[in-house]
């Protein structure tokens, strides 16, 4: 090939859960580096799988909400909590939320007790749903259902 070289753009990727209440989860981000990048990519896949595993319950919880979908941006937050929800906004009926993850802390929890990791993920997903307008009881039930997943 001759001529000028084309610089490859930075890679940003998404895991997509399709269904009655779709969710996109960031699965690749140029700012993610090294082992953290691998863990966050795998976590995005686990989160998308979790939405599929609770699909019927997830969709039922949104019957009264005025939401058309979710966009969850995983962000590496070294030094912080293992997992917590940062900013969450609604734009054109789409919930956009930052899911802040300390990759090392989350990996340690998951290695020691996978059910504790599921519970942490469930709490975060329930919090995002609640912030998007899902009733408190339904959001709590989403958290509990997620925590009981066997992945």
Backbone angles phi, psi at 146, to 5 degrees: -60, -45
Q: Are strands 69-76 and 94-101 parallel, antiparallel or unpaired?
A: parallel
> Which class does domain 21-147 fall in?
alpha beta
Q: Could you give the CA distance from residue 121 to residue 81 in angstroms, rounded to a whole number?
A: 12
The token pair that represents 124 in the structure block:
């975060």
Report the predicted TM-score, pTM, of the whole model to 2 decimal places: 0.90
pLDDT of residue 59: 95
C-alpha dihedral (24, 29, 33, 35), degrees to nearest 10: 20
| pLDDT tens column, 105-122 | 999 999 999 999 999 999
């Amino acid at each position: 090939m001759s001529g000028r070289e084309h610089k490859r753009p930075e890679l940003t990727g998404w895991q997509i859960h399709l269904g009655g209440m779709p969710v996109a989860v960031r699965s690749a981000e140029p700012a993610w580096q090294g082992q953290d990048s691998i863990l966050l990519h795998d976590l995005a896949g686990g989160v998308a799988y979790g939405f599929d595993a609770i699909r019927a319950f997830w969709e039922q919880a949104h019957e009264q909400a005025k939401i058309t979908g979710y966009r969850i941006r995983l962000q590496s937050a070294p030094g912080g909590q293992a997992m917590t929800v940062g900013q969450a906004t609604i734009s054109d009926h789409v919930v956009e939320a930052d899911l802040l993850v300390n990759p090392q802390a989350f990996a340690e929890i998951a290695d020691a007790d996978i059910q504790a990791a599921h519970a942490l993920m469930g709490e975060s997903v329930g919090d995002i749903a609640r912030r998007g307008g899902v009733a408190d009881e339904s959001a709590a039930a989403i958290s509990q259902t997620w925590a009981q997943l066997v992945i």
